[in-house]
Structures are given as C-alpha cells and as structure tokens.
Amino acid sequence: MIAPVEELERCLAKLPGFGRRSASRAALALVREPGRLLDPLAAALSEAKKSVRCCSRCGAFTTEDADPCRLCTDVMRDGSIVCVVEDPADMIPIEASGAFRGRYHALGGKLSPARRFGPEKLRLAELRDRVAQEGVKEVLLALSTDMEGDATAGYIAEMLDGSGARVTRLAFGLPADSGIAYSDSLTLRRAINGRLDV
C-alpha cells in the first residue's frame, strides 16, 4: 500500500471502534471516492478543529461563538445540582436518558497514579469554585465504577466536605469496570434516580 493511504489507515486505527482491518477498509473507501467521502470528511475535520471548543464553565463541547454552552445557558435547567463526569462525551448518554435536568461539570479525566494523572490535571478547582459561587446544593458524581473512578469520587467527596453541598453518586446500576459512554438510557435513568450519598 502507498504511504499516504497507510498514514490515513494509522490515523483511523487510533479512533475508538476502529481496529486495524476496519481502519484499512475505511481508508480505502475514502481514497476510492474522494469527492463523495474524502473531501467532505476533510472539510468537516477542518471545521471541527477550527470551531469546536470546551465550554469555559462546564467543559462540554461547544463552538467558539457559543461559550458558555447551551447546557450552561438554558434557564430551564436546575442550577442547584451539578453532575460531574470524567469526559464531555459522558454528558451525551446522560442527556439521552432524559432523567437529568441539572448542570454539568467535566473533569477531563480521573485520578490515576499509574498514569501520573493527579488532581492538578483535573478541573477540580473549577468544581470547588462553582459549588461555592453558584449555590450548588448537590454534586452528583457520574464517574466510572472502576478503581480510578472510585478514587476520584472519594477525592471529590473529601474536597467538598464542609461546602454545604450534598455529594451523591450514581446508583450502582452500571456494570462494574465500565464507563458512562457504554451504558444504555434505561440503565442510566435508573442509576440517576437511585443515586446514593458518598
């Protein structure tokens, strides 16, 4: 295979859900039909790179001209409860469940000593400031149920101790060692409605 196609295949293989073979098939399809597939993809990637940002308030994906994002500016949402997620992508299935109408806060990861990912690399100070300044009464932790997610939840509960905000966690309707992005709407709805104190 020629070098540009191999490089395209390598790039595609880094995406979630793409293995080596599926990346190879996708790369070949793109170069086979550049006008129908490759050109629109290149334009969409360029536009996403240019205009997509993280919301300065909650960390959700938004555009450069819509900061704070629509989730932060929606007056119908309950500002007294903030749902903390690891990644902005975790907000999408929670929103799809229809069970949560509060605000969000994306941490940008979770604590992981093995990967040298400590508290200073997460948006924890911003969370503490939001709780103090915005009259937040409840912080709902929608974090993975693995060891790193548990450690992050414990750290946040300790950090917010004495803040006056109730710290809860999704009920354990989620499978162990899994992430929010892999859960279906019904499981998420049950987990949100059955949340527990940390």
Residue with tokens 């994906």: 61
Across 53-73, average pLDDT? 95
What residues does each domain of the chain span? 3-52, 74-197
Question: What pLDDT score was predicted for residue 170?
Answer: 87
Question: What pLDDT score was predicted for residue 174?
Answer: 67
pLDDT-based confidence at 179, cuts 50/70/90? confident
Architecture of 74-197 per CATH? 3-Layer(aba) Sandwich (3.40)
Length, in residues, of the chain = 198
Q: What are phi and psi of 149, to 5 degrees?
A: -65, -40
Claim: this prediction has a pTM higher than 0.85 = no
Classified as helix, coil or strand, 125 is helix
Evaluate whether 64 touches 156 at the Cβ level (below 8 Å): no
Query: How do the residues of the chain divide into helix, strand and coil, expressed in percent and rounded to 5?
Result: 50, 15, 35
Q: Is the pLDDT at 5 greater than 80, yes or no?
A: yes
Evaluate whether 187 touches 173 at the Cβ level (below 8 Å): yes
Question: What pLDDT score was predicted for residue 149?
Answer: 92
Fold for the domain defined by 3-52 = Helicase, Ruva Protein; domain 3 (1.10.8)
Q: Is the pLDDT at 173 greater than 70, yes or no?
A: no
Q: In whole angstroms, how large is the CA radius of gyration of the chain?
A: 19
User: Is the pLDDT higher at 113 or at 135?
Assistant: 135
User: Is the pLDDT higher at 40 or at 182?
Assistant: 40
| Strand positions, DSSP E, 27-77 | 52-54, 61-63
Burial label, 151 (beta-carbon count in 10 A; 0-12, 13-18, 19+): middle
Across 173-192, average pLDDT? 76
pLDDT-based confidence at 102, cuts 50/70/90? very high
